[in-house]
């Protein structure tokens, strides 16, 4: 969900487009994880940030890793002692089972645990470990199998669900493990990642490229310790924002960690059990005040949850009306979950972009609210203003009664897939985000396309089908790129490609949705995709758990 990270070399390639994007960025968009990590690897390694008005601290660099990369699994041995009696580990295990049997019964499950084990392929740029390929691999211009998630390896994590955040990823394993990797500056990984090998003397001379080593605790998929959750907890879904993460249980509870960030760069997560403000939550905690939840999704700095009654709940920052209304009175605290006043008792599905939100009701109406500066929330009337915000949820009329099954949002564009396989896109178009080349007739139609002052097409006002992605089954929006999966299991991509997040083997932008032809996925039947700020994921079913 975060904005793409840029570099000095990237700026030289994209001066005109990058400058234009900077001028047109939403004025209220908060500082993202990607901006924190915008500095070079040397300055990123510094433990304290330096403001422009202060004297710069001495530059330090990361050291070569001093210890082995963490393994994917750590299974306790089940051997007996030489006497034939149970080992100490077995005795402890039996004691734990005895205590578990004496514990009060857990609430009945309302959410189904995913059963399909996925083969996960990643691509893009991971200069801070975002790809999860370990401390020596920080780029993949085409999809590569993540070895730590290889379903054919008994030592790897076997994945059943995943969510891409701004610069981190959260996944759920078949063994009920929550695994994370990527940037942990605001504790989005939910675990300890301090690394003694992270710094070295700047005066040490070395021309060896291999001397640059990523933090293995960030760049390697690693489990959040199970002790962080109550015994018997069973997870069914994960969600990720810019610097926050959440996990949903089978009984409808939500756990979260990390931080939300406002437009001024202030961090806030919520409250502890004593009512004290939490700026950054380092480990998972239960999100109180929510009823039985069946689905969770994240924007950059807000979270939505759907309950069993069909009500939608929101918390986090509401600076661009991501909650669909202004808060007041007893509900003015946005870090206490409150109801979104749309589809009350009638919602069946929710989705989110970084600063806008979606819902589908049981009558098959599609609703949206929040940021709409490029029409990403689907309202053509208010689209075009740099700070356009929908003050209340509105119906996206062209999508109503179309049996939409999936919605996704990028920074300034959105997409939808219907049960019949149609893929609709709308919003910002100047970098190929939508994967569609519009005809002269469409461009001249003011009800379809809005142009800028120079006559350049800028906004697609109406949901428009993507012609060369036949029978779509899934879609995901990164900050400024889009990934499509069709019924044949092929993946397509378009949009901003500077960081290799299109998986097409180059860093070029792509205007028309192009087939990802990598050998690794050529014979695969892909079913799911995900997109973050500078990395992407596609996956197929390896086997049923």
* pLDDT tier for residue 196 given thresholds of 50, 70 and 90: confident
> What mean pLDDT, rounded, does the chain reach?
84
Query: Residue 171 and residue 459: Cα distance in Å, rounded?
Result: 34
The answer to whether residue 413 sits within a structural domain is yes
The answer to whether residue 334 sits within a structural domain is yes
Please determine, for residue 325, whether its predicted confidence score (pLDDT) is greater than 50.
yes
Neighbours of 309 (CB within 10 A): 12
Query: What is the CATH number for 502?
Result: 2.130.10.30
Supply the pLDDT for residue 327. Answer: 62
To which H or E segment does residue 359 belong? strand 356-361
The answer to whether residue 469 sits within a structural domain is yes
Which residue shows structure tokens 């640059």? Answer: 212
Angle at 110 between CA 164 and CA 273, to 5 degrees: 70
Q: Which domain holds residue 434?
A: 116-197+210-544
Strands ordered across the beta sheet of 347-352: 347-352, 356-361, 366-371, 389-395
Supply the pLDDT for residue 323. Answer: 92
The answer to whether residue 170 sits within a structural domain is yes
The answer to whether residue 378 sits within a structural domain is yes
How many angstroms separate the Cα of 272 from the Cα of each of 172, 248, 275?
Answer: 25, 19, 5
How many angstroms separate the Cα of 192 from the Cα of each of 79, 222, 368?
Answer: 31, 10, 37
The strand ranges marked E within 76-199 are 116-125, 139-145, 159-164, 168-173, 178-182
Query: How many domains are there within the chain?
Result: 1
DSSP at 61: B
The more confident residue out of 382 and 107 is 382
Read off the pLDDT of residues 381-413 as tens digits, 9 standing for 90 and up: 999 876 789 988 999 999 999 999 999 999 999
Angle at 496 between CA 484 and CA 357, to 5 degrees: 60
Read off the pLDDT of residues 496-522 as tens digits, 9 standing for 90 and up: 999 999 999 999 999 999 999 999 999
Q: What percent of the chain has pLDDT over 70?
A: 77
The answer to whether residue 414 sits within a structural domain is yes
Supply the pLDDT for residue 545. Answer: 77
* pLDDT tier for residue 199 given thresholds of 50, 70 and 90: low
């Amino acid at each position: 969900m975060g904005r793409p990270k840029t570099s000095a070399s990237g700026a030289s390639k994209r001066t005109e487009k990058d400058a234009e994007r900077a001028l047109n960025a939403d004025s209220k968009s908060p500082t993202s994880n990607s901006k924190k990590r915008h500095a070079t690897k040397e300055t990123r390694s510094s433990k304290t940030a330096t403001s422009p008005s202060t004297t710069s601290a001495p530059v330090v660099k990361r050291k070569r890793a001093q210890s082995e990369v963490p393994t994917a699994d750590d299974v306790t041995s089940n051997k007996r002692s030489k006497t034939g009696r149970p080992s100490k580990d077995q005795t402890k295990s039996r004691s734990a089972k005895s205590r578990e049997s004496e514990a009060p019964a857990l609430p009945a499950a309302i959410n189904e645990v995913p059963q399909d084990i996925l083969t996960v392929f990643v691509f893009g740029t991971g200069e801070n470990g975002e790809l999860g390929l370990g401390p020596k691999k920080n780029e993949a211009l085409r999809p590569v199998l993540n070895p730590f998630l290889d379903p054919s390896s008994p030592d790897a994590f076997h994945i059943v669900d995943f969510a891409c955040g701004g610069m981190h990823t959260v996944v759920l394993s078949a063994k009920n493990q929550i695994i994370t990797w990527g940037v942990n500056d605001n504790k989005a990984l939910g675990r300890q990642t301090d690394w003694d090998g992270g710094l070295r003397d700047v005066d040490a001379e070395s021309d060896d490229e291999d001397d640059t080593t990523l933090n293995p605790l960030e760049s390697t998929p690693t489990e959040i310790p199970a002790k962080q959750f109550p015994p018997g907890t069973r997870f069914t879904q994960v969600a990720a924002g810019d610097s926050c993460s959440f996990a949903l249980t089978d009984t409808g509870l939500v756990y979260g960690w990390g931080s939300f960030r406002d437009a001024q760069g202030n961090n806030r997560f919520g409250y502890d059990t004593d009512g004290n403000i939490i700026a950054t939550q380092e480990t998972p905690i239960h999100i109180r005040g929510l009823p039985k939840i069946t689905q969770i999704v994240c924007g950059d700095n807000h979270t939505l949850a759907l309950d069993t009654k069909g009500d939608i709940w929101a918390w986090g920052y509401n600076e661009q009306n991501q909650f669909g209304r202004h808060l007041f009175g007893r509900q003015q605290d946005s870090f206490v979950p409150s109801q979104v006043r749309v589809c009350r008792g009638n919602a069946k599905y929710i989705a989110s972009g970084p600063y806008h939100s979606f819902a589908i009701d049981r009558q098959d109406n599609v609703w949206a609210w929040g940021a709409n500066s490029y029409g990403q929330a689907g309202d053509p009337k208010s689209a075009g203003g740099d700070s356009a915000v929908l003050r209340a949820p509105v119906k996206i009329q062209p999508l109503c009664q179309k049996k939409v099954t999936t919605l996704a949002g990028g920074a300034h564009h959105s997409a939808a897939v219907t049960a019949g396989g149609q893929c609709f896109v709308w919003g910002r178009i100047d970098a190929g985000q939508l994967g569609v080349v519009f005809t002269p007739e469409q461009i001249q139609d003011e009800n379809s396309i809005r142009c800028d002052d120079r006559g350049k097409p800028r906004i697609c006002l109406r949901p428009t089908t993507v012609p060369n992605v036949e029978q779509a089954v899934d879609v995901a929006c990164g900050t400024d790129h889009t990934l499509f999966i069709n019924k044949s299991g092929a993946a397509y991509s378009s949009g901003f490609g500077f960081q290799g997040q299109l998986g097409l083997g180059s860093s070029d932008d792509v205007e028309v949705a192009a087939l990802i032809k990598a050998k690794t996925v050529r014979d695969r039947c892909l079913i799911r995709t995900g997109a973050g700020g500078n990395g992407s994921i596609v996956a197929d079913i390896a086997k049923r758990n």
